[in-house]
Structure 1
């Protein structure tokens, strides 16, 4: 189950994170250790396995420095179910807020989808063969009532002569070859597809929690007969629709649920953002602080380890890795209730981004903004490139605007790049045609962005 982690040492996990996130070495080291400990626990002595609990992590840092990205990339490296929640949303409607157990249900849902997708890939070949026969039957229906060899067609008027049957089979084989070669992709055929469940079905009742609501809705949906409808679609589209349906029929949902629960329990990652928003700034008080402390006390059993009822079964949260994050500009980590503080033993302070960090963020990550814009314009056969001086100037302006207006971290680069390239993106392909080459230079950056910091009146419009 955790074989993919077995091949990754903490140093290799950090190297993988380095491909997408600049700096923050301390945070990367801690999450890499936490991830490797998952595999270590699963391979430890059985007598102590259940007693080894994960060291949850509290990330402290301003917005846009990479807290969420580190957690999300970590889950992707581990092929683990991942869900992100904002702690502040649990206080939106006062003390009660949203059911905190919903984060665990979201994690299980994510896990089920991941396992289901993996199982579908395993049966894809078998499903493809079934789909090919369905498409072939829609194109050339097989002859029913073939005459038995040597059986006189005169004695049974409904029996088809052998030569007609063989002609039909030869035609079907020719069309099968055409389907496999992709020669009939645009040909329209009529297929029967399952209708989706009735939307907007609700269940009303006093004191009903989210899990009960989902279970009742699923039960009612399961009792209703499955309806099908005819659709006229191209063979390419029919293959896509039918492949999904046939693959779903071939997988064992009980096995999927069991594996998904195990995966969520042993490799799931829950990222609780804005944890500082539920920290009470004063130890005693009333009003909002009572609500915040109430949310912390609701979160505590989930983080400590408890059982949560989901529509796929009961899940234990003892070994789920929780990563909490917050800017802590107003509140301090010590303002959290002591019990919750104790459940996040690893504290990591993330560094604010420097001008050099911005430069590296623009140049090195696999998903760098510069590479994203280059890919967008390559779709129009336009070659966009940035020289080093231009990247240095963009980084300098982004850093300056953050210092002058409000520090939103790396997200500032999105605003700067958008303003820099908006005219080019608008002019392609009308004024700037295919095969054009555009080099972004320091002079171009200065010309386009010179007013961003100098003009204080415009600063209110800069996000």
Structure 2
């Protein structure tokens, strides 16, 4: 029987080296799965040079030093909720109530560490609202403002230990990457759990009918991580195994934000408000609303109604309790679509204008073009996400035709017809006269 070789990292045994694995001189074998993260170490082992050590060590040391500075600033947190909300206003249109609630929750989360002698519960948040209204952008902007590690995890990928899929702990691997592998810095980051509504029980009425692998079992598996625990992660991702190397992250200071569309939840809230004995005001509001699927009803509902609705929706009480701050988001109005296109910093139109400018093209959208884009976005019912695809489709033909070497600066005008057909008008800035693209092409072809 041939002698087995073992991987230095995970401990797995092989009869012979894998094609993509590496034998590190003087150290041993690293398997193909673990080698990518060991590449710098391989460089040192291969060359034995001071330069090799610098390649391996300097970036990590520099990153860790930067992280220490950021952590010190975060621990001395003195930003006000108004300042947080003002920063969000620069990047996210509308959702004033949601931004205020988020700003307060973030403020409480980071100030809680400065309180001595009193243990303050975490301010994990649950974002509820239709698709494309800014839930992810609020979280991403918060992380940028706070300068903390940030990752987005997809709850639909999670399964309990022992089943095919990702362990819930793997949501922290992205945080480690965002923190440059520094587990202490990662322990102060933010995790955005998207599609968390998909972890509802399959049968809310009878949870014990069958083992709900992707629903209640995943909720149960998340509880300790959301509350705060010493989570063990496999050194190079994937599933944990007994002989593998692990990283430990304490999750007590990580801010978790669950997010989802929660389709059908507004109807449950409307029903509970009609049934409730909290006063004629709530009942009248619920009765007068023609469409119970309107997400605005979530902002009118008291906290206990929202929590009761989440239980009926298919979440276990312990899971709902891990998200004490429930933040409803509303659908976008036409004027908010317009602001997203034209006024928000780094808007879709501003991005396209910058790209065209690199090729000597001044890109202009007429008012009727913007109106046409908004009308189509409203019909698509996918929120702000529709805007990017509609704008890119409107400029696609111009993006292909206009970049040309040796030509002077021109203006490209996108109008309502462009949104429908992709056609556009080019104006040579020297003459100031509108000239159809076909004539421009003919002129080049004939010259």
TM-score, normalised relative to structure 2? 0.60
Q: Mark the runs of 5 or more structure 1 residues left unpaired by the alignment.
A: 114-259, 450-463
Q: Distance in 1 between matches of 2:335 and 2:161?
A: 42
Change in Cα spacing, 1:432 to 1:352, as seen in structure 2 (3 Å) is farther
For residues 92 and 21 of structure 1, the distance between their equivalents in structure 2, rounded to whole angstroms, comes to 35
Q: 1:263 aligns with which of 167, 185, 188?
A: 185
Q: Which of structures 1 and 2 has the larger relative contact order (alpha carbons within 8 angstroms, sep 6+)? A: 1
| 1:3 alignment partner in structure 2 | 73
Q: How does 1:240-255 map to 2 (within 5 A)?
A: none
The separation in 2 between residues aligned to 1:105 and 1:381, in whole angstroms, is: 42
1:292 matched to 2:215: yes
Give the Cα–Cα distance (whole angstroms) in 2 for the partners of residues 56 and 423 of structure 1.
45
Q: Please name the residue that 1:109 is paired with.
A: 177
Distance verdict in 2 for CA 1:430–1:77, change over 3 Å: same
Structural RMSD (CA): 2.7
Query: Are 1:58 and 2:126 an aligned pair?
Result: yes
1:408 corresponds in structure 2 to: 382
Q: Partner of 1:436 in structure 2?
A: 410
If the length of structure 1 is used for normalisation, what is the TM-score? 0.58
Kindly tell me: are residues 279 and 434 of structure 1, through their superposed partners in 2, closer, same or farther at Cα, counting changes over 3 Å? farther
Q: Which of the two has higher C-alpha Rg?
A: 1
Partners of 2:369 and 2:406 in 1: CA distance: 21
Aligned partner of 1:421 among 376, 395, 403: 395
Which runs of 5 or more structure 2 residues have no equivalent in the other structure? 1-70, 236-245, 266-308, 424-447
Q: Residues 89 and 98 of structure 1 are in contact (CA less than 8 Å); yes or no, is this contact kept in structure 2?
A: yes
Which residue of 2 is the match for residue 19 of structure 1? 90
* Contact 2:156/2:214 (<8 A) preserved: no
How far is the alpha carbon of 1:373 from its aligned partner?
A: 0.7
Show the counterpart of 1:359: 338
Task: Output one character per residue of 1:415-463: Cα deviation in whole Å (capped at 9) or x when no partner.
Answer: 21122111111111249944001233345446659xxxxxxxxxxxxxx
Preserved contact between residue 106 and residue 123 of structure 2 (Cα < 8 Å): no
Query: Any residues of structure 2 matched to 1:119-198 within 5 Å, and which?
Result: none
Aligned-pair distance for 1:269? 0.7
**Residues 18-37 of structure 1 correspond to what in structure 2 (within 5 A)?**
18-37=89-108
Deviation at 1:79, TM superposition (A): 0.5
Cα drift, residue 326 of structure 1: 1.1
Contact map agreement 1:41 1:52 (CA 8 A) in 2: yes
After superposition, what is the alpha-carbon deviation per residue over 1:285-317, rounded to whole angstroms, capped at 9, x for unaligned?
545735411111111111121111244853211
- Contact preservation (8 Å) 1:75, 1:269: yes
User: Equivalents in 1 of 2:120, 2:83: separation in Å?
Assistant: 23
Which has more helix, going by share of residues? 1
Counterpart check, 1:307 vs 2:281: no
- Contact kept? 1:53, 1:319, Cα under 8 Å: no
Q: Which residue of 2 aligns with 1:369?
A: 348
The answer to whether the 8 A contact 1:31-1:74 is kept is no
